[in-house]
Structure 1
Amino acid sequence: MLRPLITLLATVVATLATGWLVDQALQRAAARHPDAPVWPLLRRCRVPLQFVVASALLLVARPLERILDVPDAVPHHLVLLLLLASLGWLTVRVVAAGLEAVLSRYETVADDPARMQRVHTRISMLRRVVSAVIVVVTVAVMLLTFSAMRTVGASLLASAGIIGIVAGIAAQSALGNFFAGLQIAFGDTVRIGDTVVVDGQQGTVEEITLTYLVVRLWDYRRLIVPVSYFVSKPFENWTRRDPGLLASVILHLDHATPVDRLRTVLHDRLADNPRWDGAEWALQVVDTTPSTMVVRATMTARTPDDAALLRFEVREQLVAHLRDHHPEALPRLRTGEA
C-alpha cells in the first residue's frame, strides 16, 4: 500500500514541477523576445499541460488501482478519458494563443484600420471554428474508448444515411447560420467594428459568432441578429472600405443670408474642431423655395461617430452665428398687403 501512495505523491510532484519549469521557460523566452506576444499567451496553457502530465503518469504507473482496490479497467478508463479531455483542452489553448499572437503581431505593423478589422474578424471566426472542431474530435475519441460504442458502430454506419437526412432537416437553420458565419468571415461583407444599419437601426458590430452578430446601438442596447440575415437580406455598411464618412447639415435660410460669410464661418469652425479630418468640406445653396433657400454644409470625419457628433456641433454653431450676427438670415414668415 505504501508504494502506490509514494507513486501518487511522485506524480503530483512531477506535475507541479513540470508546470513550474515550463512557466519559467516561457517567462525567460518572453524576456528575451519582448516583441513576440506568443510567449505570454502560451503561459495560459500551464493548467491543461499539468492535467496532461498528471493523467499520462497515472496511466503509466497505475497507482489508483491499488489505492482504491477496484478492478484495473475502471480507473484506467477514467484516467484515459481525463488524458484525452486534457489533450483537447491543451490543443484549444495552444491554437487560441497562436492565433491571438498572430493578431497582436499584425496590430503592431498594420496601419490600415479597415484591414485590421477584417483580419480581426477572420481570426476570431477561425478560432471558434478550430475550437469547435477540436471539441467534436475530442468527444468522438472519448466515446470510442467505450466498448459499447465500438459494438454498435456497424449499426450506426448502416443507419448513417437516414440519420444524416433527419439531422439535416432538423438542423437546417443552425447549419445555415454556421455556413453564413463562414461566408461573413471570409467574404468581407461585415467586420467587427463596422457601422451598419439593420432594419432601420444604426449600430456598431461588436461581436461575430458562428450563429449570430451582436450590434451595439447608439443608446448602448444590443441587437442580436442571426448571421443568415447578412447573407440573405440587404443592409447598409457605412465602413466596409473606408471608416471615414461625409457628414452633411441642411439649413433652411432666408434669401438675405450672406452665403460667402457663412462659408467662411464654417471653415473656421471646422478648423477648430478635432472631429474634422481635414479632407473635404463645402457649403452650397442646393435649392430654393419662394420663402427660403436650402443651404447644405458638408464635411468629412474619420469615423461614423465623429461624423454624427460633428454634424450636431456644426449645425448648432452655424445657427448660433446667424442668430447673433445675421438675424435677418433666419427664416421669417412675411405678411403684407398685396
Structure 2
Amino acid sequence: MTATDAVTRRVFASYLFIGLLLAATGFIWSVSLGVTDLRWNDVLQGLLGGKETKEQLVISTIRVPRALVAALAGAALAVAGALMQAMTRNAFASPQIFGINAGASFFVVLFIVFFPGISSSALVFAAFAGAFMGGLLVFILGYSNDHRTPVQLALAGIAVSMLLSAMTEGFIVLYDNQTKNVLFWLAGAVHNGTWKDVHTVIPWSLTGMMIALLLSRSLTILSLGDDIARGLGQNILFIRLAVSCTVIMLAGSAVSIVGPIGFVGLIVPHIVRHWVGVDYRFILPLTAVFGSVLLLYADIVSRFISYPFESPVGIVTTGIGAPYLLYLLLRRRGRL
C-alpha cells in the first residue's frame, strides 16, 4: 500500500464515520418530528421496542418507514448519479439531468391511468421501462458524429426531461380522476412512505448498490479513458451495459416510490469526489451514505416550509441543486 492509498483510506474512514453519525442523527430527528410531538427518549424507546403506547405506534407505523424510505431513496439516487458520471465521464450526468427520472415518472403515471389499482411493486417495473426509455432518448439525441460532449448531453437531457414532464402533466390533466394524488408525488415526496414501500424498494436498491460496488474497480479504470481501460483488459461494452442496468434499477425503484426527486445524484457524487479522489471503491459507499444524509435532512427541512402541513422534499433538493448546476455550467465555460 502506498502512502497516498493510506491517506485516502484514512480520509475515507473519517468521512464514513461522519456520514454514518449524521445519518443516524437525521434518522432519529426525522422520527421525532411531526404533528404528534415526541421527545428523543420516547423515540429511542420506540425504536428499541418499548411498551406499546400511542407514541410507539406512531413511531413504528408512520415515522420509521418514512425515514427509511428517505434514506433508501437518497442512497439509490446518489449512487445512480455517481455511476452515470463514471460511465459517461460527464460532470453533468445525473438521473434527473439525463431524463431517467422524467421517463420513470411518465411511465408510472401512464400505468396508473391505464391500470387503476396497480400495486407499488408492479409500478417499479413501469419505472424501469420509463427510465430506460428516457436515458436512451438522451443518449441518441446527445450523440453527434459518434461523439458526446458534456454540455450537449446535458442539453439533450433537459430537452427530453421537459418533453416527458409535459406529457406526464398532460395525462394528469386529461385523467384527473385517476391521478388526483399524483401531483404531490411528482414534486418528490416521502411523507407517505409505508412499510410496503420499504419492502418494495429495499431489494432493488440493495441489489443495485451491491452490483455497483462489484463494478467499482472497473469504473475507476474506465474513468481514465476507454483506450487505457481496454489496454488493462476491461470489457468496455459489458461494463457500460451493467452500469446502465444498475442505474435503471436504482433510479427506477426510487422514483416509483418517492417521485422524481432531483439533483441528489448530481450534488453528492461531486462533493464526495472532492473528498476522496477518483477511486470508486471509496466514492460509492460514501455517496450512498451522504445521499441518505441529504434526503433525510431535506425531508426535515421540508416539514418547516408550511408547518404543520407537508411540503414536497423535492422543493428543498431543487433549491440546493439548481444553483449547484449553474455553478458547474459557469465553471465549465471558464467564468468561475
TM-score range normalised by the length of the shorter chain: under 0.3
Structure with larger Rg: 1
Greater relative CO, 1 or 2 (CA 8 Å, sep 6+):
2
Q: TM-score by structure 1 length?
A: 0.26
Give the structure with the larger strand fraction: 1
Give the structure with the larger helix fraction: 2
Q: TM-score by structure 2 length?
A: 0.26
